[in-house]
Structure 1
């Protein structure tokens, strides 16, 4: 039986994450790819949007290949809901989200607060909040803001950081975690 610490991670999951992330020393996308090799032959993403009411439960990768139609559905789901603009979501971001979800060992889908943002939407949000970056990776389809009711912001951020494959921001006041496939970094401690 696996024991669980205060963060909600089992000892087995933490050891597995450590072993997977030590496969490649440099903190780059290759770490995420190495981490995901241990995830099996299938990659799945589960999300819902409180804004649109849409849900997605999608196997998007099987036996080393992305499924084109599934990725297209993920792109549509992660669109800028304010103006229905769709952008290709960077597959590395989807992989980080899926790997983090697997580490958290939950069946609950992510609540997606923000995926792709058009420049117009980003400018509007930036005018309302200092927490929105001028050159946000959301505008490139390389970031997502996510929430789980069954896991804390810290637990989610720790899972994303374990992938060592991009940026992870904690937003405790708004109860979400930002994940992106940019430079490995973290903020809001």
Structure 2
């Protein structure tokens, strides 16, 4: 490893440690564009899985750069747990999730109900529910189904919709919100 790489890793590690302890005080930049206008220069995702018992609290983006090692952990966390298979999740979906979480001002992690779904898992779920799309964006790593116990489906979906960056589905009877990086659209009650 060169001195430059070593210095970059040290700088990134210090920034990550600093950001992890001061994220709640991160400033909001009015010059930032699009749906991440409130994200600052650190992006963090906090989730847990009721299915696997796993938790993740990850800073995955610092000063305009995605952190490759952090994204690998996010990809694994969001895997199809039924098939134990993972793909690279679309960073746009992760960004929408993080921005929505930030807009709600909660410290509670998301409960991840579904991230990546293999075609086999999607077909099985589709056979049990008419609410599962045949060509679901979950199979491309472009969608997530999420819940927060401290926020209603309406509150979560309004935060996600305010990003104007993808699809937002309200599933009030099942108490979760679908977020994806596909075309901007809203559905459900």
On whether the aligned pair clears a TM of 0.5, the verdict is yes
Match of 1:162 in 2: 162
Q: Which runs of 5+ in 1 are unaligned?
A: 1-15, 24-32
Match of 2:51 in 1: 51
RMSD over aligned Cα, in angstroms?
Answer: 1.5
CA positional deviation for 1:38: 3.7
Relative contact order, higher structure (CA 8 A, sep 6+): 1
CA positional deviation for 1:108: 0.2
Match of 2:8 in 1: none
What pairs up with 1:64-79 in 2 under 5 angstroms? 64-79=64-79
Q: How many residues align?
A: 161
SS of 1:86's equivalent in the other structure is coil
What pairs up with 1:115-130 in 2 under 5 angstroms? 115-130=115-130
Match of 1:30 in 2: none
Q: Which runs of 5+ in 2 are unaligned?
A: 1-27
SS of 1:173's equivalent in the other structure is helix
What pairs up with 1:4-153 in 2 under 5 angstroms? 34-153=34-153
Greater C-alpha Rg: 2
SS of 2:174's equivalent in the other structure is coil
Aligned residues of 2:161 and 2:168 also touching (Cα < 8 A):
yes
Structure holding more helix per residue: 2
SS of 1:155's equivalent in the other structure is helix
In the TM superposition, structure 1's runs of 4+ consecutive aligned residues that sit over 4 Å from their partners are: none
TM-score by length of 2: 0.82
